[in-house]
């Protein structure tokens, strides 16, 4: 199975991608994670990406396509965070076509602006292993300490309210043509992503069945 998991920042892509990959035995490909690793290494690509991420802007397509071609292959994977616009969707289609491959389903996690701001403004991330927490829905056992590796939890710079609103505006501008692209291919599956992770996962499983 080859899945694209799509949604606004804070829609739960990271959480649901982990659950879906465990359940269906898929390889998770998260461009966000790849970008953050490059930023952490302070590579040339990482410095370019950091400039956009901290302003709440999308990373330009030409940078993204370089990473995609190196990481997308095989029959069982889930793409988290890509494509984000119609040009990226067409680029991905061309990349997969060269491999004799195609996407099976495009899952759209649908949320509203209020939910996004509430989720992201209360999100914490581990500085070392990258695990996400939420102060209300998924708090750590110890205040601002990661359950997995005991490192410090911090708020990402792009999770501040003013940056979240900018990310939401950019998302709305780009998403309609992308959803139409996969709808015409009969591959669009829209799921209500409000509620806790178990409720959302149950809806996804129900739709996939």
Active site residues: 13, 84, 123, 156, 167
Helix axes 61-71, 31-41, angle to 10 degrees: 100
Q: Which of 187, 195, 192 lies closest to 204 in space, CA to CA?
A: 192
Please tell me whether residue 204 adopts helix, strand or coil conformation.
helix
Half-sphere exposure of 27 (CA within 13 A, CB side): 9
- Whole-number Å distance between alpha carbons of 156 and 158: 5
Beta bridge partners of 109: 7, 191
Contact 3, 20 (CB under 8 A): yes
Residue (of 130, 123, 100) closest to 30 by Cα position: 130
Neighbours of 175 (CB within 10 A): 17
């Amino acid at each position: 199975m080859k899945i694209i998991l799509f949604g606004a920042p804070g829609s739960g892509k990271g959480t649901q991608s982990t659950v879906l990959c465990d359940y269906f035995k898929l390889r998770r490909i998260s461009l966000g994670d790849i970008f953050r690793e490059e930023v952490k290494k302070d590579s040339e690509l990482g410095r370019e990406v950091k400039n956009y991420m901290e302003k709440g802007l999308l990373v330009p397509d030409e940078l993204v396509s370089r990473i995609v071609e190196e990481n997308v292959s095989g029959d069982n994977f889930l793409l988290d965070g890509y494509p984000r616009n119609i040009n990226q969707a067409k680029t991905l289609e061309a990349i997969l076509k060269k491999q004799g491959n195609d996407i099976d389903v495009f899952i759209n996690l649908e949320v509203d602006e209020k939910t996004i701001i509430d989720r992201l403004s209360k999100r914490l991330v581990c500085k070392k292993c990258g695990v996400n927490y939420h102060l209300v829905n998924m708090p750590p056992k110890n205040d601002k300490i990661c359950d997995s590796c005991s490192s410090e939890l911090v708020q990402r710079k792009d999770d501040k309210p003013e940056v979240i609103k900018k990310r939401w505006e950019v998302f709305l501008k780009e998403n309609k043509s992308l959803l139409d692209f996969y709808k015409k291919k009969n591959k669009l599956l829209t799921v209500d992503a409000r509620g806790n992770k178990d409720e959302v996962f149950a809806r996804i499983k129900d739709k996939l069945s």
